[in-house]
Amino acid sequence: MHATVLRAHPSERPEIALRADHLEVAYRDRVVWRDATFQIRRGEFVAVIGPNGAGKTTLFRLLLGLRRPSGGSLEVLGEAPRRGNPRIGYVPQRHTIDNDTHVAADALVRLGYSGTRWGPGWHFQAQQEAADAALDAVGASDLAAKSLGAMSGGELQRVFLAEALVGNPEMLLLDEPLSNLDLRRSRELVEVVHGLVRSRDVTTLLVAHDINPLIECLDKVIYIANGNVATGPPETVLTSASLTELYGVPVEVLHDSRGNIVIVGGENPHE
Amino acid sequence: MTAFSWNFVTDLRAMWQYAFMRNAFAAGTIVAIVAGMVGYFVVLRRSAFATHALGHVGFSGAAGAVLFGVNPVFGLLLFTVSGGTGMALLGRRASTRDIEIGTVLAFMLGLGLVFLSLYNGYATEAYSILFGEILGISDAGVLLTLGAGVVVLAVIAALYRPLLFSSLDEDVAEAKGLPMLALNLGFMVILAVAISFAVQVIGVLLIFALMVTPAATAVRVTQRPLAALLVSTGIAVFSIWAGLFLAWYEQYPASFFIVATAFAIYLMVRGGQAIATRWVRPSFPGVGTDSSVGAESA
């Protein structure tokens, strides 16, 4: 992999946040997807869509430097992907947090701010202020002292978002934040994320199962299916012709009267 | 021995005339502080079974040490540290490897049995390893415990935030660049050392009372990590002191009183909370608006 490393000064963020060129990823001999070539501009709100197991989370693992591509090149915020990049905020799909996690939300958000530093953390005031600001930015100030174990799915996702946001990252990677939320809660969270994208100019990739809660706010879609990746504005990617080519089997994109999209035929290709 | 009075200072002074009681209080307090702190991470990481298993692995180590005429604590350390290292290498979350740990655990206990059967005076030795012998700690034992305690606390202080982060939110901590394997390994070694010294006080079978019960109580009292660490430590220290106090006046094993005190505090907290949620139903204005919003949309 020969990605050009452009070390940008923090104040001048690169115009292209993400650049993939003939990118390919494989687990041992099995190619997950190949030949992905796309660019994401700074401050764009992008949905990553596709059937289960298509390799959506794998894309995030590449961006986070947790996995190496098997071919092509990838550049994140002007540099090669590396683990622990503080310019990226990440909300994974699965958390080790459940009903038995008796820990206050702001403690988790503080760890997002300084959890990788050694020592007990004497500058408690600075940590707390950063955590409070992040919780405030996602509209979750009232959850600061609430136990994570006692939260609803929507409340938890807001706290996770604050945890990702607390270091003022230039890029947010959100893996299936909407998966356990009903439609109303989904739309609320999308509104919060959309607000952050616009107000902070933070490039955001959001993995989702259902495009509909997002469709109005998106700049781009990365659609992964059948080992292929298609990228572009939703109106170009989410068409019968484009998805048929992507899946390699006939796929139809239907629109209902409210503008909701239904994709038929792609999830279970019969051959 | 003097009679019990409600003047605790007089009582303590009476007890502390005896070297074995001074040693018991000193070693017990150090072990309780360490166990209370380490226990918080055990609860956060859901490593209760690994803790239980390491205690049993330690039993074989202690039995082996007795057989070869070595200080049991060195056998304990050797076995628990290698066991903990093995568990850390086995998987990111040792607690999710119940089957593998259980399999090795059964074999290790069998090994301990063989060691003991090869040793002639096994009944009393086995008894003290299984249930602890807080009243039999030597001056050298106290110093050794102090040294180990200081090292463990220093390591916890150094690792505090990364350890907390990786315990609470593994995937984010990994993406943020924390060395997960090294942290897991570090924690299991700390746990092994803490268990090895706690065994002298409370025994292999009762280790939960110091390593899990105080922390499990603390997380119900406060959701702030630092406060929970202090509460957990406080409960552990109080249990040791109350246990020694009671054992001085009542002729039952100190270990029993220690376990009973920790359990009683746990019951009181859980009971108190059950009562609070049932009868004193608090309303939280502005918090958890999910239900109200749902009602409005229905």
| pLDDT value at residue B122 | 60
| pLDDT value at residue B251 | 86
> Which H or E run includes B36?
helix B19-44
pLDDT digits (tens, 9 = 90+) for A86-119: 999 999 997 788 888 999 999 999 999 999 999 8
Report how far residue B170's alpha carbon sits from residue A50's, in angstroms, rounded to the nearest whole number.
26
Please say if the pLDDT value at position B3 is more than 50: yes
Please say if the pLDDT value at position B89 is more than 80: yes
* Residues A264 and A254: beta-carbon distance below 8 Å: yes
Mean pLDDT over A67-72 rounds to 96
- Number of other residues whose CB lies within 10 A of the CB of residue A56: 25
Residue B231 binned pLDDT confidence (cut-offs 50, 70, 90)? very high
- Whole-prediction pTM: 0.89
| Mean pLDDT, all residues of chain A | 90
CATH code linked to domain B8-280 = 1.10.3470.10
* Residues A49 and A211: beta-carbon distance below 8 Å: yes
> Which H or E run includes B191?
helix B180-202
ipTM of the complex: 0.89
- Which B residues in the span 20-59 are in contact with A, Cβ-Cβ below 8 Å? 44, 46
| pLDDT value at residue B285 | 43
Instruction: Closest CB to B175: pick one of A64, A100, A150.
Output: A64
* Residues B134 and B254: beta-carbon distance below 8 Å: yes
Alpha helices in chain A (DSSP H): 56-63, 105-114, 124-137, 153-165, 183-200, 234-237, 240-247
Instruction: Closest CB to A116: pick one of B177, B288, B290.
Output: B177
* Residues A14 and A6: beta-carbon distance below 8 Å: yes
CATH code linked to domain A1-87+170-238 = 3.40.50.300
* Minimal CA separation from B201 to chain A, in Å: 28
Render the burial of B243-275: b for 16+ CB within 10 Å, e for the rest: bbbbbbeeeebbbbbbbbbbeebbeebeeeeee
| pLDDT value at residue B282 | 55
Q: How many CB pairs under 8 A join A and B?
A: 108
Residues in B closer than 8 angstroms to A104, CB to CB, are: 223-224
Positive or negative: CA dihedral B37, B38, B44, B46: negative
Residue ranges of the domains in chain A? 1-87+170-238, 98-168
* Residues B39 and B232: beta-carbon distance below 8 Å: yes
